[in-house]
Amino acid sequence: MENVISRELLDRVIAISVQAGEAILEVYNASGELEVDTKSDDSPVTAADLAAHRILLPALEQLIEGVPVLSEEGKLPPFEVRSQWNRYWIIDPLDGTKEFIRRNGEFTVNVALIENGEPVLGVVHVPVLDITYAGARSLGAIKRDAGGEKTIGVRAMQPRLDSSQPIEVVASRSHGAGAVDELLARIEGSLGETGLKNMGSSLKLCLVAEGAADLYPRLALTCEWDTAAAQAVVEAAGGIVVDEQFALLRYNQKDALLNPFFYVIGDPSYDWKSLLLG
């Protein structure tokens, strides 16, 4: 498979994601009550989800010839078709629809390129904050905001432990709270003080990628389009995303698009496995 990863490709995906974010903001900032429909799986969908999808789908289809796009808001091909895809785009046009409906700003545009089950390029754009996290294999990870662009990376655990700084854990605002509380108690018993940040969408993974948090345990269900883009950013920043057996999270390996429970780890050199699975 030829290498298609380049800074030019990453920049084009960023531009497309920002455009989708602008379409989301048009709905978000409009006056009047927000209309919310319910999909067959009981998840909410709004005009903003669909507006972003309509921008992302044709734009990504034109980026790399012959590479299909799998979108949360599109038609899901059967696994016998998807299993033949060595390379494809996977997108969540609006990750955090519930946060969007609550108008708390914690929602993102997620775009990832998958090669042989591995997320190799990802863009996570935060429309309300106009912040973009992006990364790709061999290119590293970046964050763009009003102050410009900077390289980001995960942070090491040992200096924090040596100086008795709290271990920062980030968790979902809505899912898996009880299991996370138990895990926090175990971490505190072993490492001392922890800090907990709650927020929605794939922003949680990005906090680990930029070195603002050490661990994100996801002990509740997610779909592959929820995590692929941010996982690519985390891995480009030096972190890992692993399942409960500490195998790297992979994509398009089965009929269902549900992820297993997983851990986003900033410093892979630290023995998190013994702590989390002990």
User: Is 95 known to sit in a ligand binding site?
Assistant: yes
227, 202 contact by CB (below 8 A)? yes
Q: What is the DSSP letter of 249?
A: P
Q: Is 94 within any annotated ligand binding site?
A: yes
Q: Is 92 annotated as a binding residue?
A: yes
11 in a known ligand binding site = no
3-state helix, strand, coil in the chain (%, to 5): 35, 30, 40
Q: How far is CA 149 from CA 7, 27, 44, 47, 133, in A?
A: 13, 27, 33, 31, 10
Is 243 annotated for ligand binding? no
Are the C-beta atoms of 109 and 206 separated by less than 8 Å?
no
Whether residue 147 is annotated as binding a ligand: the answer is no
226 among annotated binding-site residues: yes
What is the C-alpha to C-alpha distance for residues 275 and 187, in angstroms, rounded to an integer? 7
- C-alpha 64/C-alpha 35 separation (Å) is 35
Annotated binding site: 72, 92, 94-97, 226
Annotated binding site for Mg(2+): 72, 92, 94-95, 226
Annotated binding site for substrate: 72, 94-97, 226
